Amino acid sequence: MTDSSRANGAPGAGRDDSLRERWRTALVGARGGAPGPDPAPYADNLLARWAEPQRKYHTTAHLAAVLGHIDTLAPYAADADTVRLAAWFHDAVYRPDRSENEERSAALAERALPEAGVPDGVTAEVARLVRLTVTHDPADGDADGEVLCDADLAVLAAGPEEYAAYAARVREEYGFVPDEAFREGRAAVLRQLLGLPRLFRTPYGAEHWEPRARRNLLTELELLNG
């Protein structure tokens, strides 16, 4: 069992087996049925990245949650398998002390996916979607961008206990940052999110997640400022 599995209170092996199968299905779908290399080594490499010890929130539990939300939002996507591949890569490179994680994750996708048999156009779209998670602000009509960003932000609409656990894990990831500096930085992130005209762009996200997410963000901001 990895440290990330213990942190999220779930057996790592069972979740990883499920994620491997999800990877295989998405990769084969993105290939359009064309033959290609065995998906398993690519899944293992990515899962090892998602289980790195510096991760407390951005773990395989987060990956599994995002993929589950994509399943919910799949009817709104132009190509759900492409969005699923983007979810696998969107935090594949993650160091909380660095600011270029999304760019490095996108570059990883650009190297790995052609080798795995994914067409160039799909690879480019996956990389674009990964880079979009810097801002979570897709353009109007960007169906796949809306689905990925909504799925990534869905944790903001969690119930009170789950949201508190999410916030605590984020703080743990930034344990090297002094309390005052963390409060200032986290408050800036929350204000940036609250300043967006819409947190969620899909009809489902707007209806089911937006109100609770804004309440959660406002509550956390109040606690930070208190």
Q: Which pTM value belongs to this model?
A: 0.91
pLDDT in tens, the chain (226 residues): 223 333 333 445 688 999 999 999 999 999 998 999 999 999 999 999 999 999 999 999 999 999 999 999 999 999 999 999 999 999 999 999 998 999 999 999 999 999 999 999 999 999 999 999 999 999 999 999 999 999 999 999 999 999 999 999 999 999 999 999 999 999 999 999 999 899 999 999 999 999 999 999 999 999 998 7
Residue 226 CA to residue 224 CA, distance in Å, equals 6
Spatial contact of 174 and 182, defined as CB atoms under 8 Å apart: yes
139-170 as b/e, with b when 16 or more CB fall inside 10 Å?
eeebbbbbbbbbbbbbbbbbeeeebebbbebb
